[in-house]
Structure 1
Amino acid sequence: MNAKRLMFVALFIFQSALGQQLMDEGFKLLETGDFEKAETFFDAYLQKEPSNKTALICYGRAVGLSGEPKKAIAHFKVLKAQYPQDFEIAVNFNEAFLWDGQFEEAKPLYESLLKLYPDSFAVHLGYANTLSNLKEYPEALEWINKTIILDSTNTSARVSRKYIRLGYADMLLKKKNYTKAEDLLKENFSDFPKDKETLISLANLYLIRKEVDKAKEAYIAMATTAADSIRALNGMSLAEHIGKNDRYALSLAAQALEKAQLIKDEVLKSQTQERYVQALIWNSSFGKAKTQIDSLEQVHSNEPWVKALRATLGMYTADFWVSIEEYDDILAIDSTSFDGNLGKANALFASDRIIPAYRAAFKTLSVFPGQPDAQGLVEKINGLHIPTTEARAFYTFDNGNNIAHGNQVSANIPLSTKFMSTLSYMYRNTENTLTSNQALSHILLAGV
């Protein structure tokens, strides 16, 4: 009997090891991100072993990560009913909600799992990522730090922390809390020195603050490859424009354009061509800019970025109706386009169509909450079309022994976006100190 038992155990161990070995190919497909092939692999494997729990879990992951998260949720829900106490199934069930973008639903699931497994790295990481996706960044940062304490060598947790900091910094940037945003971004360098995404975010922050030299330093630091050198030149060109050095901005853009001829990255080539045309416009080389845009339209017809260039040219040459038409075309292609929304708002304002400009600016803010340029336009319009008052007191004297003192109050009251009424009242008391003669005057002025 004992001998039979030993043979059974040995056979079971051999079969388990063999099953694990047979699944190695599927594991590698999951690890390398080839999820569709992984799904096919584990589907075929389950035809032979339909109750293999490891294969069932891997199949669910492959399904969810290959673009069918709802199917994965349903799959893991069935497994949870079969194995209600299984930790791996519970974790994957929760994660499937993240794949599907159901972050609100995932949050309480992770909170329940944390109570059962308070020291689990996987649960901590999933919860931190859930909070990050909900843009609850302070809490997400707190939990990802707890996660890293559980396993300080895990790279995926540090990657998650990097993106939590990037998201948190962007939120702070929109709230104009620039110092805290800068500090957060710099903390990323402790895990990822010279991280490109962090350097780009830092450069953007410095551009908003018009700290041109710091922005250029960030761009130079990211120039570690041929492609990134071109990106850096494009960024530095914009920085020089913000620093009111348009001639050098054009020189940098021309350098980037020359280097871009040697690469195969078509997206980067387009971005570089765009920056070069912008630099021509900044330098009032409108004829050259128009020639470049005409040439680009032959190759990139109906591309929003080319339309944005023609719209920008229209803004600089006071051809605002052309700009509005181009921005309308951009919005017809993509209603959430930043260039289209803010560009149209600016073009409407420049053409003295105040109410439509106001609406367009608020539409931009509805798509991009807290965006500084859109917010600035709203504040500018408000400043031009709200009632204002001014009060002044004065005292004068001359060499004829005349002294005068008085007050003046003025008010500007907009009647519409086209008309404004002006009302001014002045009281003046004049006296000659030798003759004691006095004169009192009241002046009331009104106009539209």
Structure 2
Amino acid sequence: MRSIFNVFFLLLFSLQICFGQNPLNPGFQMLETGKFSEAVIFFENHLKSDPNNPTALLCYGRGLGLSGKPDKALEIFNKLKKDSPESFEVDLNIAEAYMWGKDFQTAKSKYIILAKKDTANFSANLGLANAYSELQNYDSALVYVEKALQIQPTNGNALVSRKYMRLGKSSKLIGIGKLGEAEGYLIKILEENPKDLDAVINIGNLYGLMEENQKAIERYQSLLDIPSKKVDAAIGIAQVKFKQKKLKEALSWAQKAVEFADSSEIVKAKVARINALGWNKKFKQAFIEIDSLESNYPKYKEDIIATKGRLSIWSKGFKNGANYYLKLLEINPKSFEGNLGYADANYAMGLNNHSFEYVNKTLQIYPGQADAVRFLDKLYSGHDPTIISNVFFSQDNGKNASKNYLLRLNLDPGPLTKTFLSFYQRDVYNINKKSENIAVNTFMVGASHRQNEILKYGGSVGVIQSDNLKRFTAEVNTEWKLGKYQTAELNYREEIQTFNAELISKNLKQQNLNLNYNLFLPSKIGLYSQVILTKMSDQNTRSLIFSSLYYLVSDAPILKAGINYGGFGFKNQVPTIYFSPDKFRNYELFLASENFNNPKAKILYQGTLAAGYQKISIEKFQSIYRFDLKVGTKVTPRGMAMLYFLRSNSAASSVQGFTYNEWGINARYIINKHTF
């Protein structure tokens, strides 16, 4: 925002001193018309013949200060101060000299003394208001500018200063998320001048943040006929269209901004167009255009590096994005986008130690800034102690049933390390043989650690026990990021078969070697594949493969559709104990949707519907279906609960190969207590 103090506010006072001195009139006119360098030469020449003339010295000092030499002006005013230690006018000029030199703290101290000495002095009150404003203490600034306006109600300089103070206060309130209060200050400006361009563009931006999209567009459209604001208006409309998910329209308006722009606004407009290309995932073209911008406009280095950082993150080049933001911080260590952008890039890579560091740096520079506060809360929400509970029931058409109770506590000792404790009780029985109810208890402890942006590893150990069973189990897991679009997991997991009483009595243990691969391309095509090799304690083995090819129809909320293929086979067939065909295949089409990625959603849902065919060994193809539905709510920002029901008649869903039903409730609560 441009400086709000007006360099001319003491001229009238100075000229009152000077206009009686006819030989000096040409110099006074130079000061009055802004010809400060010429005024310096004029008064310098006059002082050669009249070196002690206080009026000429005062005007000479003002000319120096207003032409960019505040230190020399201050030297002259301090000399005048020695000759006239009680001169209020000289003290006013000394205070203003500190304003010219951008030493606003000292200027404020000087003006406080002057405003107390003469509470009715217009210049002292306005000067103090402007000093407070430059220090971003807008509340005090507005108090003193109102005092100045009580003295001179129609003074143009004071009215302009008050406008910029209100703009500054509004901007500060927006930064800490108090949007309603910010609107009030902008409305005050518009009540005095409904066509104030700065207020109109700012309130348009504010309505965009408040998601009052139609109001925002109306404000921007009112500026499209005003040449000096057409670019800002088009950019504002583009941003609203982006928030409305109208991405092609957003790009169209960003292109209009480029067409409207003159040489002074072309970089701003082209950056907006590059952002819009990024919103439309046209990253190749966006990077070509930002490279061209960098070549043609090298002095806009900060804007260009920040844009490269944004594009890199949007295109999943998180490491590159982090490096661009570090370059930006080398140029400007206090850059808001540099600090928060670096935190965001590291969050995307799982390097939350750096995320915490740079979010806190952001808040040290910009206390209370709303985006940084929300980011910090999101970081802590991922690491604060979390209690997870799940109560569910199951039954298949073989009358195998279960009651299940899970309680888990996540405790993270640091931003890169996660630990958990869990207890799981499973009561299994057959509805026709309730006397055979068996309770199985599982205790687990585990941890994981993010080594770097590529590798995460962890594991767990546990004990499973019942009246006739006690077994130890272990799991080791690794996760690898193989570039922008690919991840892989290689895991080893041991588990005990507890589906029904008969399996528990067999004390059957599985050792699974599991490889998962996930690919998701910018074209919104995804592939998930899984291979599991299983060795069982009864000397049987199993080989399983699953693959899902899908297309992401929408990412807000998520909607995807695709085709699944699954198959497995056992070395030995023991159908009287568990479902173990030599060959099993299934093929299905599916549709899935969820809104978990919407932080503002109060009602949460997740649903999957699938249908297809299965083939067991040499039997004929059979039609299959499955569906599951989860519906819940955010009880608090840190607490949620969900009811769910699922049903499947695929033989792959049950160890016994029967139609399977499950229903229950999940709950999660994040305790607002930081462990590091």
Q: Identify which of structures 1 and 2 has the higher relative contact order when contacts are C-alpha pairs closer than 8 Å and 6+ apart.
A: 2
Q: 1:300 aligns with which of 297, 309, 323?
A: 297
More strand by share: 2
Pairwise CA RMSD of aligned residues? 3.4
The question of whether the paired residues in 2 share the 8 Å contact of 1:210 and 1:243 is answered with no
What is the deviation of 1:441?
Answer: 6.7
Q: Judging changes above 3 Å, is the alpha-carbon distance between structure 1 residues 259 and 110 closer, same or farther for their aligned structure 2 residues? A: closer
2:372 matched residue in structure 1: 374
CA distance in 2, matches of 1:188, 1:258: 30
1:225 matched residue in structure 2: 226
What is the deviation of 1:140?
Answer: 2.0
CA distance in 1, matches of 2:207, 2:175: 13
1:246 matched residue in structure 2: 247
What is the deviation of 1:395?
Answer: 9.9
Greater shift after overlay, 373-382 or 121-130? 373-382
Q: Judging changes above 3 Å, is the alpha-carbon distance between structure 1 residues 207 and 18 closer, same or farther for their aligned structure 2 residues? A: closer
Q: Judging changes above 3 Å, is the alpha-carbon distance between structure 1 residues 207 and 20 closer, same or farther for their aligned structure 2 residues? A: same
2:445 matched residue in structure 1: 446
CA distance in 1, matches of 2:338, 2:18: 59
What is the deviation of 1:392?
Answer: 6.7
The question of whether the paired residues in 2 share the 8 Å contact of 1:236 and 1:249 is answered with yes
1:270 matched residue in structure 2: 267
Which string of whole-angstrom CA distances, capped at 9 and with x for unpartnered residues, describes residues 18-50 of structure 1? Answer: 963332322222223332222222111222222
CA distance in 1, matches of 2:307, 2:352: 23
Which string of whole-angstrom CA distances, capped at 9 and with x for unpartnered residues, describes residues 134-168 of structure 1? Answer: 33322221221121111112100111111221222
CA distance in 1, matches of 2:61, 2:18: 22
- Runs of 4+ aligned residues of structure 1 deviating over 6 Å after TM superposition are 16-19, 392-398, 403-407, 427-432, 435-441
Counterpart code for 2:446:
G
What is the deviation of 1:227?
Answer: 3.7
Greater shift after overlay, 58-67 or 180-189? 58-67
Q: 1:283 aligns with which of 280, 286, 303?
A: 280
CA distance in 1, matches of 2:360, 2:215: 31
1:331 equivalent in alignment to 2:329: yes
CA distance in 1, matches of 2:18, 2:101: 34
1:387 matched residue in structure 2: 385
Q: Judging changes above 3 Å, is the alpha-carbon distance between structure 1 residues 368 and 87 closer, same or farther for their aligned structure 2 residues? A: same
Alignment of 1:49-448 (within 5 A): 49-260=50-261, 263=262, 266-300=263-297, 303-390=301-388, 409-425=407-423, 443-448=442-447
CA distance in 2, matches of 1:191, 1:25: 37
Which string of whole-angstrom CA distances, capped at 9 and with x for unpartnered residues, describes residues 340-395 of structure 1? Answer: 33322222222222212322333333333333333332222221122212457789
CA distance in 1, matches of 2:24, 2:222: 44
Counterpart code for 1:413:
L
Greater shift after overlay, 154-163 or 415-424? 415-424
Q: Judging changes above 3 Å, is the alpha-carbon distance between structure 1 residues 95 and 257 closer, same or farther for their aligned structure 2 residues? A: closer
- How many residues align? The count is 429
The question of whether the paired residues in 1 share the 8 Å contact of 2:205 and 2:236 is answered with no
Q: Judging changes above 3 Å, is the alpha-carbon distance between structure 1 residues 18 and 126 closer, same or farther for their aligned structure 2 residues? A: closer
SS at match of 1:222: coil
Which string of whole-angstrom CA distances, capped at 9 and with x for unpartnered residues, describes residues 167-207 of structure 1? Answer: 22222223322211110121112444322222333233233
CA distance in 2, matches of 1:293, 1:169: 32
Greater shift after overlay, 101-110 or 39-48? 101-110
Q: TM-score, normalised by structure 1?
A: 0.83
Q: Judging changes above 3 Å, is the alpha-carbon distance between structure 1 residues 33 and 369 closer, same or farther for their aligned structure 2 residues? A: farther
Larger Rg: 2
CA distance in 2, matches of 1:239, 1:212: 6
Counterpart code for 1:335:
P
Q: Judging changes above 3 Å, is the alpha-carbon distance between structure 1 residues 288 and 19 closer, same or farther for their aligned structure 2 residues? A: same
Which string of whole-angstrom CA distances, capped at 9 and with x for unpartnered residues, describes residues 81-131 of structure 1? Answer: 212333322221222222233333333433332343222211221222223
Q: Judging changes above 3 Å, is the alpha-carbon distance between structure 1 residues 308 and 416 closer, same or farther for their aligned structure 2 residues? A: same
Which string of whole-angstrom CA distances, capped at 9 and with x for unpartnered residues, describes residues 383-434 of structure 1? Answer: 1122212457789999xxxx999975321112444442222235689999xx
The question of whether the paired residues in 2 share the 8 Å contact of 1:424 and 1:444 is answered with yes
Q: Judging changes above 3 Å, is the alpha-carbon distance between structure 1 residues 18 and 224 closer, same or farther for their aligned structure 2 residues? A: same
What is the deviation of 1:257?
Answer: 2.1
1:36 matched residue in structure 2: 37
Counterpart code for 2:103:
Q
More helix by share: 1
Segments of 5+ residues of structure 1 without an aligned counterpart are: 1-15
2:638 matched residue in structure 1: none
